[in-house]
Amino acid sequence: MVLQSFKNCLWLSCVLRTPKACFWSTASGGFVIQSVSNDVYQNLAVEDWIHDHMDLEKQQVLFLWRNSPAVVIGRHQNPWQECNLRLLRQKNIKLARRRSGGGTVYHDLGNINLTFFTTRKKYERMENLKLVVKALKALRPQLDVHVTDRYDILLNGQYKISGTAAKLGRTSAYHHCTLLCNADKFVLSAVLKSPNIGLKSNATPSVPAMVKNLFEEDPSLTSEMLLDAVVKEYAVQHQIDHRIISINPADETLLPGISNKAKELQTWEWVYGKTPKFSISTCLNMAYKDSVLDIKVNMDVKHGRIEVCNIDLPEQWLPSGLYSELVKSLTGSKFCPNETTALVTTLLRMCPQDNELHSRWSLLCENIIRLM
């Protein structure tokens, strides 16, 4: 049930702005909100906003959201390690880094996200997940779903249908989880497989799991039904109205400062620059004329920028001046294909106009860019 009356918006804005919402008897215990947006950055920004601005002492909040295709990595993860970035770019799938920990997930409209906001004291992931399982069982009693001690929800004892992550601040906390209703499993497995570039890092690795959609188990299930079931159970457990309030993440009046939060989540510095230090060590196999060259490449990347760069070229394959110029320019530059393409093509302007030289340069640079 989604009500969008003016009164609700008004009520919501009061609740969000003036924490002393005890005047509103309907607000006691908590409430449920659902985002009207499918933009992963906007929705993550709503989570940030509620975490930073709301007083959750008197009420808890359940936030429901779905995203158009996106890969979401955990706070301390390495996108190069976790997914196939080339494929993401080709398919126009967004990449986002959330503020909670945990592993990488693929979102599309067939996946629903649930965020449980509480005070830090009332932070209890197991309870939340048990609530979800109870809701699923109430909807379809024959479903074999249970919570594991890794905070996953398994279907039939083997397929993962939900993953969990959490964020704790000074006074408030949130626990969010996914729920696979009808997501595209083929795209999911393709994008979450990263190419091997000899990456070494201490970033949190994801634990791959076999997944299944609830829709595959019971084709009569839809995302709406699952959402409704969870809301119903939440309402019962928190003794509140079974009612969902729509929230527009673009509404700056209701959520002041939210567009800045959404913007920050999209910056390169956040998505890629927050990657813990890592190194790559690989061999480029370049077919040139009649031979195949094996070029060893080693790079250290910190804050998403190349700190150290070593390319083992055969002697005089490129004029030494040009080679050192390349290495010098790459050092300190972003480990980013776009930036590197612009960089190498600009450097080429300074080279003598020699077709042979140009083709060698292009070949080498394209192979290096492919690593990013």
Partner 1 sequence: VCIHRVRSCSSIRFIKSKYVCVFDKSALKFSHQQRLFRTSAVSCGQIVQFKLSDIGEGITEVTVKEWYIKEGDSVSQFDSICEVQSDKASVTITSRYDGVIRKLHYSIDDIAFVGKPLVDIEIDASKGVSAAEDVVETPPMSHEEHTHQEIKGHKTLATPAVRRLAMENNIKLSEVVGTGKDNRILKEDILNYLAKQTGAILPPSPKAEIVPPLRKPEAVPAAPKDKAHKIPVPVSRPIAFSGKDKTEPVTGFQKAMVKTMSAALKIPHFGYSDEIDLTQLVRLREELKPLAEIRGVKLSFMPFFIKAASLGLLQYPILNASLDENCQNVTYKASHNIGVAMDTEQGLIVPNVKNVQVCSVFDIAVELNRLQSLGSAGQLGTSDLTGGTFTLSNIGTIGGTYAKPVILPPEVAIGALGKIQVLPRFNDKGEVFKAQIMNVSWSADHRIIDGATMARFSNLWKSYLENPALMLLDLK
Residues numbered 307-346 forming contacts with partner 1, rule: CB under 8 A = 329, 332-334, 337-346
Does position 130 interact with partner 1 (CB under 8 A)? The reply is: no
The footprint of partner 1 on this chain (CB under 8 A) covers a number of residues equal to: 73
Among 1, 3, 10, 308, which residue sits at the site for partner 1 (rule: CB under 8 A)?
10
* Rounded least distance, CB 152 to partner 1, Å: 10
Contact assessment for residue 114 and residue 131, using Cβ atoms and an 8 Å cutoff: no
23 binds partner 1 (CB under 8 A): yes
- Characterize the bridge pairing of strands 29-35 and 244-247: parallel
Residues 168-187 contacting partner 1, CB under 8 A: 168-171, 173
The residues that bridge with 33 in the sheet, in sequence order, are 63, 245
At its nearest, how many Å lie between partner 1 and the CB of residue 179? 16
Q: Please enumerate in sequence order all residues whose Cβ is within 8 A of that of 255, keeping only pairs 6 or more positions apart, or say none.
A: 16, 46, 49, 53, 247, 249
User: Judged by CB under 8 A, does residue 165 bind partner 1?
Assistant: yes
Q: How far is the CB of 328 from partner 1 (least distance, A)?
A: 8
Which one of 142, 220, 239, 253 is in contact with partner 1 (CB under 8 A)? 253
Comparing CB distances to partner 1, the nearer of 242 and 358 is: 358
Which listed residue (252, 269, 294, 312) binds partner 1 by CB under 8 A? 252
Binding residues for partner 1 restricted to 82-111, rule: CB under 8 A: 89, 92, 99-103
Q: In angstroms, give the least distance from the CB of 315 to partner 1.
A: 23
Among 41, 151, 272, 278, binds partner 1 (CB under 8 A): 151
357 binds partner 1 (CB under 8 A): no
Least distance between partner 1 and beta carbon 348 (Å): 6
CA atoms within 13 A on the CB side of 300: 4
* Site string (261-300) toward partner 1, x via CB under 8 A: -------------x-x------------------------
CA 293 to chain centre: 37
Q: Which of 4, 156, 320, 362 touches partner 1 by CB under 8 A? A: 362
Of 78, 106, 85, 94, nearest to 272 by C-alpha is 78
Closest CA to 337 of 266, 268, 260, 238: 268
Smallest separation (angstroms) from partner 1 to the CB of 234: 20
What's the min distance (Å) between Cβ of 330 and partner 1? 8
Whichever of 193 and 328 has its CB closer to partner 1, that residue is: 328
Site for partner 1 (CB under 8 A): which residue of 32, 166, 192, 271?
166
Cβ atoms within 10 A of the Cβ of 97, count?
22
| By CB under 8 A, residue 249 contacts partner 1 | no
Return the number of the residue (114 or 231) whose C-beta is nearest partner 1: 114
Residues between 110 and 129 with contacts to partner 1, criterion CB under 8 A: 119-121, 123-125
Instruction: Round to whole Å and give the CA distance between 309 and 321.
Output: 16
Applying CB under 8 A, among 42, 164, 182, 266 the residue interacting with partner 1 is 164
Could you give the string, one character per residue 201-220, with x where binding to partner 1 holds by CB under 8 A and - elsewhere?
Answer: -x-x----------------
Interface positions, 48-77, toward partner 1 (CB under 8 A): 52-53, 55, 57, 74-76
Out of 160, 167, 238, 360, the only residue in the binding site for partner 1 (CB under 8 A) is 167
